[in-house]
Amino acid sequence: MSDKLTSSKDKILFTPGPLTTSRTVKQAMLRDLGSRDFEFIQTVADIRARLVQLAGVSPNDYAAIILQGSGTYALEAVISSTIPPDGKLLVIINGAYGRRTEAIAKTHKIPNVALTYPEDTQPDLAQIEAMLAADRAITDVAVVHCETTSGILNPIEAIGALVKKAGRRYFVDAMSSFGAVPLNLAESAIDYLVTSSNKCIEGVPGFGIILVKRATLLQTEGYARTISLNLLAQWQGLEKDGQFRFTPPTHTLLAFHQALIELEAEGGIAARAARYRANHDALIAGMSALGFETYLKLADQSYIITSFRYPKHPNFSFERFYKALNDKGYVIYPGKVGSADCFRIGTIGRIFPSDVRDLLSAIRETITEMGMC
């Protein structure tokens, strides 16, 4: 676990992605394969099969769809091509990514309603249950698993149980959690789950991934409001002859295939979760020792990304702090919550507790330079 395969010349990325990836993942891109080439088609089929396996479900019930573009495109594909013309979406919001789902629904003029919570607060299950009982027009429910805005982890299993009981479709944005947080899609009653190539599977950016319940997807004929983001058509293309409707990012897919092999070699989701948790534990202990406070209560906090409040010291300037760490070779991330001044540190990607300790040393040095201790 201590082997570091990252390129020596690159800064280490403590961000929500693009992430630091292994050198071998990047080296997989040193080939030009035709998009109709037999080897490429086999690689895509293997990627799709491995993704369904990672989701803990049967390929008879679920399928993996790869969609060119960023994760947001995959999000928009689900919203814009699976909700029927007479559908209505309930969005559960406690951060910017929940708000983005709502914005997509509004742009496509899909009737929608939101349950909005403060960015440091878990959704209220009783309220969700009551809303589903009261508003019979709601056909679909969307929630974000790990809200990267704050780093909060939402209770998608408990929400899934309520959605299932109420007989609605369930969509989970698991962009920054899939591959690192153990999850069974069938047990959580998930119809659609979205993630992307450059998150916890540790590939490079270039496409989104949608895990779909086949029976649900098959009912969406004619619902798509675009051509490029037509989820059913994308799936039908891949099922027909293993090819994409439109030019796929061949190199990015080769990197992702290698990343899946390395995830398996590491010991699968459980082992990756353990490494990320160890990264996170090292970060929390070290930052606390340096006097930094987390934005969230630890009980609500994921081991994916953590928001830290700006220190109250008058010498603190985020711009100086960020630049000094960057110059030392460590890339952290600005904050995104609306209610507090924070910065964020991610603990995912091809990084290890030793990297986190190096970052902590650099932070100690930086706040000393800034005259803060």
Provide φ and ψ at 331, rounded to 5°.
Answer: -100, 115
User: In whole angstroms, how close is the CB of 320 to its own copies at the nearest point?
Assistant: 15
Judged by beta carbon, residue 35 or residue 122, the one nearer its own copies is 35
Structure tokens at 80: 């814009």
User: Does 32 sit near its own copies (CB under 8 A)?
Assistant: yes
Judged by beta carbon, residue 87 or residue 160, the one nearer its own copies is 87
- Edge-first strand order for the sheet with 342-346 is 305-309, 342-346, 333-334
Kindly tell me which residue out of 29, 115, 190, 287 binds its own copies, with binding defined by CB under 8 A.
29
Kindly tell me which residue out of 160, 179, 248, 353 binds its own copies, with binding defined by CB under 8 A.
248
Provide φ and ψ at 61, rounded to 5°.
Answer: -100, -30
User: In whole angstroms, how close is the CB of 32 to its own copies at the nearest point?
Assistant: 5
CA distance linking residue 44 with residue 356, whole number of Å: 34
The size of the interface with its own copies (CB under 8 A), counted in residues, is 62
Strands 169-173 and 192-196: parallel
Q: What are the CA-CA distances from residue 295 to residues 153, 302, 312 (Å)?
A: 13, 12, 14
User: Does 30 sit near its own copies (CB under 8 A)?
Assistant: yes
Angle at which helix 156-165 crosses helix 125-134, to 10 degrees, equals 20
User: Does 176 sit near its own copies (CB under 8 A)?
Assistant: no
CA distance linking residue 81 with residue 217, whole number of Å: 10
In one letter, which amino acid is 63? Answer: A
Please, which of residues 108-167 interact with its own copies by CB under 8 A? 108
User: Does 35 sit near its own copies (CB under 8 A)?
Assistant: yes
Q: Which residue has the tokens 């690192």?
A: 180
User: Does 228 sit near its own copies (CB under 8 A)?
Assistant: yes
Judged by beta carbon, residue 26 or residue 213, the one nearer its own copies is 26
CA distance linking residue 136 with residue 244, whole number of Å: 38
Of 142, 95, 363, 151, residue with least CA distance to 276:
151
User: In whole angstroms, how close is the CB of 356 to its own copies at the nearest point?
Assistant: 17
Judged by beta carbon, residue 64 or residue 224, the one nearer its own copies is 224
User: Does 34 sit near its own copies (CB under 8 A)?
Assistant: yes
Q: Which residues contact 307 (CB under 8 A, 6 or more apart)?
A: 150, 151, 294, 295, 296, 335, 336, 337, 340, 342, 343, 344
SS3 331: strand
**Per-residue binder mask for its own copies (CB under 8 A), 195-224, x = binder:** -x-x-----xxx-----------------x
Strands 305-309 and 342-346: antiparallel
Q: Which stretch binds its own copies (CB under 8 A): 64-72, 177-185, 234-242, 361-369?
A: 64-72
**Per-residue binder mask for its own copies (CB under 8 A), 316-335, x = binder:** ----------x----x-xx-
Judged by beta carbon, residue 128 or residue 193, the one nearer its own copies is 193
User: Does 286 sit near its own copies (CB under 8 A)?
Assistant: no
CA distance linking residue 203 with residue 27, whole number of Å: 12
User: In whole angstroms, how close is the CB of 252 to its own copies at the nearest point?
Assistant: 6
User: In whole angstroms, how close is the CB of 117 to its own copies at the nearest point?
Assistant: 23
User: Does 33 sit near its own copies (CB under 8 A)?
Assistant: yes
Strands 333-334 and 342-346: antiparallel
Point out which residues bind its own copies (CB under 8 A): 6-7, 9-11, 13, 15, 17-21, 23, 26-27, 29-38, 68-73, 76, 80, 100, 103-104, 107-108, 196, 198, 204-206, 224-229, 245-252, 255, 326, 331, 333-334
